[in-house]
Chain A
Amino acid sequence: MFCATDISVKVQDKMLIESVCFELHEGDWLMITGRNGAGKSTLINAISQKVNYSGKFEYEGQDIKYFKPNNFAKRIGVLKQGLSADYSFTVGEVVKLGRYAYSGGIFSALSELDEQMIENALEVTGLQSIVNQSILTLSGGELQRTFLAQLFAQDPKILILDEPTSHLDITFQKQIFDLIGEWLKQENKAVISVVHDLNLAKAYGTHTLLLNKGKTVAYGKSNEALSKENLEKAYSIDVYSLMQGLLGSWNGAKT
């Protein structure tokens, strides 16, 4: 349903991404991972049309560059890292904005479907009890869930997440990833997410795109892409043994 062909991003003579390709089918969860500066976020910025790029992103055969903003939002939803709140909006107000792309004229009220999508988004993210609370008073995890609820209300086909849990503790990380996993079970959905944590990439991703210095090191089913050799190429250390060692320390603690 989504296809990236030969994507390159160049900023001031520096290639941030070079000829990256990938494909996305219904039910796929593509993990983009690699070291700092590998070009992971740049790739996300290219999809969301924030930076200029060469190559082509296609959604169901159509170049997404020419989508109108509201049609874009109905198909592709992006959750960025490091969201902050400066003004006192309520959780409900933020989630409601997710239906913007579906609103008609200025005076049109929310439709039945809008209401239902908002309710549903609040329910699955467990935000119903704090719907009228100001976002200034939320914890990091609650704020992230609020924006996730907005995305669910927006109901795109493809969810793109740029390190959605990088500053959250392990409980919230699991919570967010499980929510997304549930969302993905619906019909005709796919997820792309940038993650640092290789454990998360392995546990949740169906496919992985491993980047290093803007180039593809490996791409394919997560199990194959995250092989010992590929990881060593991307991270220039023996990641596989490191992970095994870390796991071992837990096993040792058990006994």
Chain B
Amino acid sequence: MNGNMDSKLKLKKEGFGSLSFIIFGVLTLLTLILCVCVGSVNIPIIDVFKAIYSTIFRLPIPEGIAHSIIVSVRLPRVLSVALVGISLSICGAAMQGLLKNPLAEGSTLGVSSGASLGAVIAIAFGITIPGIPLAGTMIMALIFAFLSLVLILSLAYRLDFSLSTNTIILIGIIFSMFVNSLISLVITFAADKVKHITFWTMGSLAGSTYLNVAILFSVLVVFGGLILRFSTELNAFAIGEDNARNIGVNIKRVKFLILFSVAAIIGVCVSIGGTIGFVGLVVPHITRMLTGSNHKKLFPATIFTGAIFLMLSDLAARAILSPLELPIGVVTSFVGSIVFVLIFYRNRKKS
């Protein structure tokens, strides 16, 4: 009986400890403040607090501080960036677990490209839903993201049932190239409507509004929440789909709900920020080094690391060539491709 007690103590708690929550939370908040302060015009921290404080409590705006820059330009942008960072990272982590493939992610699978095709078609042909701004673009992006996911995965299953890393990535790249050529085609025909081709291929969150923030937040709560509910199931999938089936997971249902949520989140993120590549690859990878692979710890940590990573990337995009601004996707792809090679190399060496 003594042995029993010993090992019971050794079984670690599965959740994310409150101390980690506090540390990660403070780091995220500090990054957020830093990102609001620094830019083409640097604003002292105290002014940022004053501006936010007086806006919230509807006090008269103190003179001499760059109130409008803070409240109507930087804050919504930084919040959007943080939310997109969280969303894409959760999607990446979920796909990597579900497919048991550490390189799976929206941009490597071609889902993001698929979503941008949907968005571009909606804009080019003026597909809108009356009364709800952005809804036409978003729904088209969502549908195309889901269709791409289904197409890519069924193709991959057909070619290679074990869904090996190489097969998936190869199909993802080819699919992305195919879709990008279609995007260029659509844009050639409707050049006047879709001006910024780079926006859809490289991504940018400049000019985000509070409406964007609200949409991103709701989608994250609904679909991100749904994904987080399946942490245990994702653990089983990450060990192997056979293992998940064996312990009694309803494979088809869980898979469908996760893939649908991923498509919804990526669709919305792409229609607001364009294709911001590799976020879902880099963040879960780094986070896994801190927390291990258990999704019950990985997901909560990803919420913070995802926000921090993309906020810092956005800051770099604004600061490196200031006053010129780089698309945020340039920064994430730069970091992401290096991490991609590292993971690929390590996996190769292992097998």
Q: Are A89 and B294 in contact (CB under 8 A)?
A: yes
Quote the shortest CB–CB distance from B231 to chain A (angstroms).
9
Q: Work out how many contacts link A and B, with CB atoms closer than 8 A.
A: 104
- Asked whether A87 is an interface residue with its Cβ less than 8 Å from the other chain, the reply is yes
Cβ–Cβ contact A69 & B240, under 8 A: no
Q: Mark A101-122, 1 if CB is under 8 A from B, else 0.
A: 1010010000000010011001
Residues 23 to 75 of chain B near chain A (Cβ within 8 Å): none
**Inter-chain contact B7/A97, CB cutoff 8 Å:** no
B4 touches A123 (CB 8 A): yes
Please name the residue on chain B nearest to A77 by beta carbon.
Answer: B246
Q: How far is the CA of A93 from the CA of B297 in the complex (A)?
A: 12
CA distance A83 to B249 in the complex (A): 18
Looking across the interface, which residue of chain A has its beta carbon closest to that of B229?
A106
- What residues of chain B lie closer than 8 Å to A86, measured between beta carbons? 100, 102, 238
Residues of A contacting B97 in the complex (Cβ-Cβ under 8 angstroms): 87
B232 touches A103 (CB 8 A): yes
Report the bound CA distance from A106 to B254 in whole Å: 14
In-complex Cβ contact of B248 among A50, A70, A79, A106 (8 A): A70
Chain B residue nearest to A75 in the complex (CB) = B248
Of A77, A83, A118, A119, the residue contacting B240 (CB under 8 A) is: A83
Q: Which residues of A contact B248 (CB under 8 A)?
A: 69-74, 100-101, 154
Known: A86-B102, A89-B294. Contact between A94 and B239, CB under 8 A?
A: yes
Interface assignment of A64: CB less than 8 Å from any CB of chain B: no
On whether A97 and B12 interact (CB within 8 A), knowing A69-B249, A69-B250, A106-B229, the answer reads: no
Q: A131 contacts which of B11, B243, B288, B292 (Cβ < 8 Å)?
A: B11
CB 8 Å contact bits of B92-103 with A (1 = contact, 0 = none): 000001001010
Chain B interface residue count, Cβ-Cβ cutoff 8 angstroms: 33
A37 CA / B102 CA spacing, docked (Å)? 33
Nearest Cβ distance between residue A66 and chain B, in whole angstroms? 14
Q: How many A residues, CB 8 Å from partner?
A: 45
| Contact between chains at B4 and A97 (CB < 8 Å) | no
Interface membership of A84, Cβ < 8 A: yes
Top 3 closest pairs, chain A to chain B, by CB: A73-B248, A101-B248, A87-B293
Q: List 19 A-B contacts (CB under 8 A).
A: A50-B242, A68-B250, A69-B250, A72-B248, A79-B246, A85-B239, A86-B100, A87-B239, A87-B293, A92-B11, A100-B236, A100-B249, A115-B8, A123-B7, A128-B3, A128-B6, A131-B7, A131-B10, A132-B10
Residues of B that sit less than 8 Å from A by CB:
3-4, 6-8, 10-12, 14, 97, 100, 102, 229, 232-233, 235-236, 238-240, 242-243, 245-251, 288, 292-294
New A-B pairs, 11, CB < 8 Å, besides A80-B242, A89-B239: A48-B245, A69-B248, A69-B251, A74-B248, A86-B102, A90-B292, A93-B14, A93-B235, A93-B294, A106-B229, A147-B243
